[in-house]
Structure 1
Amino acid sequence: MSNQLLEVHNLNTLYGRSHILHDLSFRLAKGESMSLMGRNGMGKTTTLKSILGIVPPRSGHVYFDGEDISHLPTWKRMRRDIAYVPEGRGMFHNLTVKEHLQMAARPGSNGETKWDYDRVLATFPRLSERLCNLGTELSGGEQQMLAIGRALVTNPRLMILDEATEGLAPLIRQDIWNVIASIRESGISSLVVDKNIKALKGLCDRHVVIVKGKVHFDGSSSELDQNLEKVETALSV
């Protein structure tokens, strides 16, 4: 049995005539945390949307736990125990904090419920003070907490977080890093898009850097240290 949870093979994704991803490939092992880094416009969000089928690739394959999910609609892919925290957080305008969490809650495909409503509120005490507020009434940091909590109550095997700490105050940003660390420790695999090399190096097992829709670097944290100048240049040019 393969230890790989997510395998991305030779993805080519286009928006109209604009070729965004060029034969993009990487693997994420079970229980592993991976960062996905790159400057704006390099294809990070397109990679996530291609994996989820939101933007279907022109060619290539996505395997989840050995199953080719490339031709499944997005909702069926998510039902394989994939959770997505989108850039912008994706709050529903007519739902309260409590309703966001209750609406999303379900056991994992194996029937286990390791993350439930009470555990999420224990993880994010601030949300318990805002249960009757609409999601759109929360601060940016609170919305990110809610988006992560909403994803966790689906009891995923893979968490995908797009721009995990973008635009957050330093203290809130650290809270989010701490939660992502606890997600990793609980055995959930994660794919984290962010720009903070220092934080990601200590948080993730592997790192992929994308430049113009191609993999520019793919390696462990120790390999990242050995290629730090190359990576920093790719992120700053």
Structure 2
Amino acid sequence: MSERKQGRRSAQSAEQTKCEIMRVATELFCELGYERVSLRNISEKVGVSHSLIRHHFGSKEKIWYAISDDLHNYMETYLRTVIDNIPANATPSIKLYSFSVRLLAHMLIFKQPIQLIADAVRQEEALIDYFIGTAGEIEAIVNGIADEYNNDHPDTPIKIWEIKWQMLMFAHGAASLGPFMMETWSEETDDYQRCLLNHWQMFNSIMAARFNVPHSDILSPEKVKDLVYPMPCHEECQS
């Protein structure tokens, strides 16, 4: 084998190891919380040496930031996907409604972002500050749609952060209080996915009413995951 091929294979192996470290660390941070996870916990579960993790990342904090960066990039791409799938000629009301209910659907199915955010609130300010931002192209697009809506509805303006807050509450409730969610609809079903759909429907009803969405435009999926757009895996993390 040539030195070039050996070098390429070595680089791919190193990248796969880094991805596996991040995957395991994400699971541990979500399950146990940042403070209760150590580099040794991560190394034991991944099956690599403590020193190898330090070689790739340096510290637990740097692993957390790498995970956060990765999730941020993923969510930026997903948000763009949601926006791109909303008809350009839709009214601001429909755009905001579609964006909010589809984004919550994603957050209910893929819980790790909200779990990390909730844990970050309990940690150093630097961690939660990392998640709270008002800059970026997606933020500007959503704010622009909100401005259009407020221009059309000056008597009932909306605040984007209030919509975000409602979304966070619904996402975190399903992620951290699953048994209570199941108990809420225990008389009609014991199926988790059905309860998750009922939970999403509560938010859906609130958003549909808030944005005066015509009945014909209100989404009515059979499962929450039906509202989630497929996303490719990161190339560097594929085998």
TM range, normalised to the smaller chain? Answer: under 0.3
Q: Please identify the structure whose Cα radius of gyration is greater.
A: 2
Give the TM-score normalised by structure 2: 0.25
Higher helix share: 2
